[in-house]
Structures are given as C-alpha cells and as structure tokens.
Amino acid sequence: MLKQTLMLMAAVIVCGCNPPATQTSAPEIALYAMDCGHAAFSDIDGFADDGSVKGQARDLVVPCYLIRHPSGDLIWDTGLPEAIADMPDGLAPPGYPARFTVPVKLSAQLAQLNLTPADIEYVSFSHMHSDHTGNGNLFAHSTWIVDADERTRMFDAEHRADPQDFNNYNQLEAAQTRPIEGDGDYDVFGDGSVVIVQAPGHTPGHTVLRVNLRNAGTVLLTGDMWHLRESRERRLVPRFNTDRAQTLASMDKVEALAAETNARVIRQHVQEDFDALPHFPQPLN
C-alpha cells in the first residue's frame, strides 16, 4: 500500500495533475425561501371538495424559491404580482373570498443577494395559477422550463381572455423554452440534484421540485399538492382541480418519493412549513 501511495504521489508531481477522485461529491447548492405574498381567506371551502372546511377562515403564505447551483440559478414559483406591494390595503378581487398582500417585492429580495431578475438563468413554476406565476414576466429573459401540457393551457384562448392571470406571464410565450414532454422527471442541471417531478391533477401539468442538498438532504417543494396543513393527512382535493383521480394518484406518487428519499416535505402555502425554513436571506444547504 505504501509503495502504491508513493507511486501515485510521484505521478502527480511529474504530470502536475490531481489524483483520480474516488467518488463524485454533491454540488454546492443553496435553497432560499422568499416571502412573496399572503392570502387571507374568509372561507377556504374551495380547498376541499368534501365540504369539510366550509366556512373556515385561514391565512396562507405564498412563497418563491431561489435555487443556486454552480451551473446557474433557478427561480421556482414567482408568487403574487409584486405590484400588490404598492397597494396600501392589498388586493381583494370582487366576489373572491380572500385579500392578497405582498410585504416585500420579489425583485427587492433578489437585490439582497446582489441579483436582478436578468441574472437568473432558469425559471419554472409548479403550475400556472397567479399566486405562482404572478411575476413571470420579470424572467422573460430566462430559460423557461415548463410541462408541455401546462404551457398549452397557459396560452389557450380561455386563459388569454383572463388578463388578471395572463398578463403576469404573457411575455414568456416568446422566451427560450425547454418543454417537458411525457410523464418523466426533468433533471434541471443534469446531475440529479434538482429535479422537476410530474404531479398533475391540480392543473394538467402541475409539478413538484426535488432538491438534494448536501447538509439538509432531500427537500420536496410540493406546489399546490396540499394547500392546508390538514390536506396531506386527509387527502383533501380542491374543488377547482382539473382531475380528481389524477390528483390522488399524484399524492401517492409524491408520498412514495418522500418515503424513498427520506425527504423534507414542504407544503408550500402552510405557514409553519415556510417558517421552519431559514429566514431569508439565509439559505438551506
């Protein structure tokens, strides 16, 4: 063994190269959780089609996530439109049982890391709803990674006619795009560290993000898989989901993935899950 070690050292000195690595180390990745809004609901009946939460009030958090990888930065979900931050009383759409507020603009939070939206290489959304795509147009110069079915729905005639949502992301139609075809996972950086997982049912192309961190292990950012703290345990399906059976199948898929990877599951709109993450601008890594 000593002879082999000396020979290896001599080879390094002669050639000026590094000795061969015995294993590939995980890349340095940091996950930042940003507060991109709040939704104060007077009635959360829409979040369970069995009527079990009818008449209950609830406050939901609306997060954005920045994943910093040696090969580039990814924004995952962009929260409510940051223009709401300029509205003293927030936004209360007529006939909708919620008031939306934005305490700090997404662009201002990025600035705390010396970043602008133009610095972000990749953008992706768990799905198309306005509390996830509200600042989509800020990243029109990024590469957009999107489920092909979701992209079709986002630009069909029905949604083009709804300016409240469509005008938040309409510039992405001309963005450089990487469509996710079929039902397979999408490896963002090609090393298995950040993977978009298909989990349709809430919308046609709803997705979940799996992030493998060196210290914290696997984290699952689950989008609108579960809106409420009780939704996961009780398998509650929102009334407005596009496909109930698909939703339940996706729940099973994500639960199996969580068990297989011993993942930390983040129910994105649940305040306690958001609060358990490092307070921005501190990262989870």
Domain holding 150, by residue range, is 27-275
Cα separation, 111 vs 87, in Å, equals 21
The CATH number of the domain holding residue 164 is 3.60.15.10
Q: Taking the CA atoms of 175, 144, 106 and 120 in sequence, report the sign of the dihedral they define.
A: negative
Supply the pLDDT for residue 26.
62
Supply the pLDDT for residue 159.
77
The string of pLDDT tens digits covering residues 142-199 is 999 999 999 999 999 887 877 778 999 999 999 999 999 999 999 999 999 999 999 9
- 239 occurs within a structural domain: yes
| Residue with token string 């092909």 | 148
- 213 occurs within a structural domain: yes
Question: For the chain, how many structural domains are there in total?
Answer: 1
Supply the pLDDT for residue 165.
87
Supply the pLDDT for residue 157.
86
- 283 occurs within a structural domain: no
Q: How far apart are the first and last CA of the chain?
A: 37
Beta strand ranges found along the chain (DSSP E): 30-41, 58-69, 72-76, 98-101, 122-124, 143-147, 177-180, 186-187, 194-198, 207-213, 217-221, 264-266
Beta strand ranges found along 71-148 (DSSP E): 72-76, 98-101, 122-124, 143-147
- 19 occurs within a structural domain: no
Supply the pLDDT for residue 27.
79
10-residue mean pLDDT profile of the chain (285 residues): values are: 36 35 62 98 98 98 98 98 97 96 98 98 97 98 97 89 86 97 96 98 98 98 98 98 98 98 98 98 98
Average model confidence (pLDDT) across the chain: 91
Length of the chain equals: 285
- 184 occurs within a structural domain: yes
Q: What is the pTM of this model?
A: 0.90
- 155 occurs within a structural domain: yes
Cα separation, 109 vs 107, in Å, equals 5
- 5 occurs within a structural domain: no
Structure token pair of residue 173: 């139609």
- 21 occurs within a structural domain: no
